Amino acid sequence: MNKFFKRFLIVLSVVILVLPVVNLKNVKAVEEPEIDASAVMAFDSNTGQIIYQKNAEKKVAIGSITKIITLYLVTEAIKDGKLKESDQLTPTPEQAEMTQSDELTNVRLDTDKAYTVKDLYNAAWIVSSNSAAMMLAQKVSGDQASFVKLMRKTLRSWGIKDAEINNASGLNNSDLKEGMYLGQNNAENKLSVNDIAIIVKHILNKYPEILKTTSKQSFIFPEGSETKTYTSLNLLLNGNRDYQEGYEFDGLKTGTTEQAGDSFVGTLPMGNSRIVTIVMDAGGDDSDLDKRFRATQNLAKYVKDNFVNKKVLTKNQKITVTNKKHKYINENDVYMWLPEDFNENSLSYNVSKTDLGFKTKENKKTVKLIATNSQNGYLPYPKEEVIIKKIKKVQKSLWHQITEFFENLF
């Protein structure tokens, strides 16, 4: 080996040693979070991007998370003018009787008292009053069975085809009286985490003002000739025992039955967006009343510690989609939740097949695009169905037409 070649090798070795190490991977591996629950999800409520999921397609009992659907439809009735917050409702003897059982409800209702829609709405959201939810459902549809049919129809229009919805409260049918449910007498409402996420996105998209109600740490409800203050069942709210500074939860709904276990759908602002957390059937001792909230905190912390809401596209940027030659012009800045060291230039895009995606222009036409290679993808969020009934015109036979002609003469 000549002297020149030896010197060359020495210099090359020194250069390699002093050069920074280049990370050839797009993403540094993010450890799985420790979430003790049957099914879990965290997603961005604005874009529908899934940040983390576990058993998202598994159908599970949902308990009072049912009330998100119920109160969506009640909110819709109020907004449409079919129901006023000042309207007075009186419970049936069966509904009032249920409020005497600590296992089934909390706010007391009396058959000789009338309660405003607003008070019942607060009670159903904040402390999950079953009888309050049933009274509102009955007012919207005339009876509870008809309301359950409306719930089912609404979910089908959102692409949720295999929902098991039997009542408006979320209790097991065995805890209810005749006329309060559909289905078998021991049936329970069941959905997947994917389904729950679609429902939550719909209500937050259409009625974000419900957060003014769900963020209340307490509320006052009439009881007899006096009033009583109730504390929210959401223990993550500021002022409640599981609150943590920096994690400002302002919703959404607890769910508890023997089948459902302890479940919770939460939501909180994070960065310049809003995160929704879903924890179904949290693991732990039956006596541990905080387990679903600890699991939720772990999930929110996992998102905050491991992901950044990065700007991946700028306004008016040209985008070439997969397998297409022509370009789309982006209408606004686009953000995605990505690990900090993720190379956003490695993202690829295509035309969205669902109602999700960011708006672009292509030949003056608005087209939604979506990232096709994000880690967990997006919610299965189809467009709402428009059901058109086609009436078939029946071709009558010549003999039938002649007979009909003579019949009409007399």
Q: Distances from the Cα of 386 to the Cαs of 40, 45, 63, 157, 389, in angstroms?
A: 31, 24, 30, 8, 10
Active site residue: 38, 128, 192, 374, which one? 128
| Domain ranges (residues) in the chain | 53-262, 309-371
Section 95-99 average pLDDT: 93
pLDDT value of residue 239:
96
Q: Is 67 an active-site residue?
A: yes
Category of 140 on φ-ψ map: left (φ > 0), alpha (ψ -120 to 50) or beta: alpha
Cα(297)–Cα(249) distance, rounded to whole angstroms? 10
| φ/ψ of residue 315, rounded to 5 | -60, 140
pLDDT value of residue 12:
45
Cα(276)–Cα(46) distance, rounded to whole angstroms? 10
Section 93-99 average pLDDT: 94
Q: Is 348 an active-site residue?
A: no
What does the pLDDT look like over 108-166, one tens digit per residue? 999 999 999 999 999 999 999 999 999 999 999 999 999 999 999 999 999 999 999 99
Instruction: Name the one residue in this structure whose structure tokens are 């994917």.
Output: 194
Residue 369 has pLDDT above 50, yes or no: yes
- Of 261, 239, 240, 280, which Cα lies nearest the Cα of 53? 280
What does the pLDDT look like over 289-332, one tens digit per residue? 999 999 999 999 999 999 999 999 999 999 988 777 778 999 99
Q: Is 206 labelled a binding residue? A: no
What percentage of residues in the chain have a pLDDT greater than 90?
Answer: 79
Active site residue: 67, 190, 201, 291, which one? 67
pLDDT value of residue 28:
53
- Inter-residue contact 262 to 281 (CB < 8 Å): yes
Q: Is 192 an active-site residue?
A: no
- Of 133, 89, 127, which Cα lies nearest the Cα of 111? 89
- Of 222, 209, 220, which Cα lies nearest the Cα of 251? 209
Residue 398 has pLDDT above 90, yes or no: no
Residue 17 has pLDDT above 60, yes or no: no
- Of 396, 392, 380, which Cα lies nearest the Cα of 56? 380
Instruction: Name the one residue in this structure whose structure tokens are 């909180």.
Output: 268
Please give the CATH topology (third level) of the domain spanning 53-262: Beta-lactamase (3.40.710)
DSSP string, 186-222: T---EEEHHHHHHHHHHHHHH-GGGHHHHT-SEEEEE
CATH of domain 309-371: 2.30.140
Active site residue: 38, 45, 64, 232, which one? 64
Q: Which two tokens stand for residue 240?
A: 């409640």
407: confidence class by pLDDT, cuts 50, 70, 90: very low
**327 or 396, which is more confident:** 327
As beta bridge partners, residue 89 has: 115
**Top-confidence range, 16-30, 48-62, 352-366:** 48-62
Residue 101 has pLDDT above 80, yes or no: no
pLDDT value of residue 106:
82
